[in-house]
Structure 1
């Protein structure tokens, strides 16, 4: 969201229990997002939607999540930005997974985080 200047930069990070005892981690921003053509290539090594991006972050993340029998996906938001999620199998011995949400306002002058 570095280049965003026309709106407040917001980042939503949350975890929740998913169907089938999966744990889901979600990151949603109001950045530039990605186009329909980018969706197919987001997880390819060395592909980036950023001018200065290396294109290895999502590829490496997908390898790690795959190794843990999970899945990783990304969707464009209805408004600005994108949402990236992954889910992995939960720990079978723990029946109570709390859901946590962290709201982070990304502002050069002030950086705050709160959980709810």
Structure 2
């Protein structure tokens, strides 16, 4: 996703840093769907900084193991941020803070993450900007692969794979 979005980030003068943790447990899921979530979070972060001229336009994409034992991925930006009381509204279908937005990206992203047994949330940064994070339960080889959103269980395939280092 980073390579795919690098042109957009450069055009918007956004610096992307990665903080990918080593030694994370494997997670399983639909690779295409999880990539869609990551792409949406990165694009939103970039869009949140279009009007920022008084500080660097920085996005940090990182992974870590949470205290809950789940692998967490986060996208932190130095953009315009949001009102802390409105954090949950960001995930409502058709709610948008963008002039050109449709208001479905975060809603769909949350549905994808939840269908993988995870959680997606947003937090206002202490300084400028916001952080969007999601977590997914680790995939233990002894477990069945995660269910499709339809509830069907499938074995890993090229699009549904265990991903080393947490996410890819």
TM-score, length-scaled by structure 1: 0.76
Partner of 2:55: 7
Q: Which runs of 5+ in 2 are unaligned?
A: 1-48, 142-163
Would the aligned equivalents of 2:84 and 2:123 in 1 still touch at CA under 8 Å? no
Partner of 2:10: none
Is residue 90 from structure 1 mapped to residue 144 from structure 2 by the alignment? Answer: no
> Equivalences for 1:1-116 in 2 at 5 Å?
1-93=49-141, 98=165
Count of aligned positions: 97
Structure with more of its chain in strand, by fraction: 1
How far 1:91 moved relative to its partner? 1.6
1:40-90 deviation digits (Å, cap 9, x = unpaired): 301001111222221111100000011011001000001110000000111
| Deviates most, 52-61 or 25-34 | 52-61
Q: Which runs of 5+ in 1 are unaligned?
A: 101-116
TM-score, length-scaled by structure 2: 0.53
How far 1:98 moved relative to its partner? 4.4
Q: Which runs of 4+ in 1 moved over 4 A?
A: 97-100
Find the aligned partners of 1:99 and 1:43 in 2 and give their Cα distance: 24
Structure with more of its chain in helix, by fraction: 2
How far 1:36 moved relative to its partner? 2.9
Would the aligned equivalents of 2:52 and 2:79 in 1 still touch at CA under 8 Å? yes
How far 1:38 moved relative to its partner? 2.2
| Deviates most, 18-27 or 83-92 | 18-27
CA RMSD of aligned residues (A): 1.8
How far 1:19 moved relative to its partner? 3.0
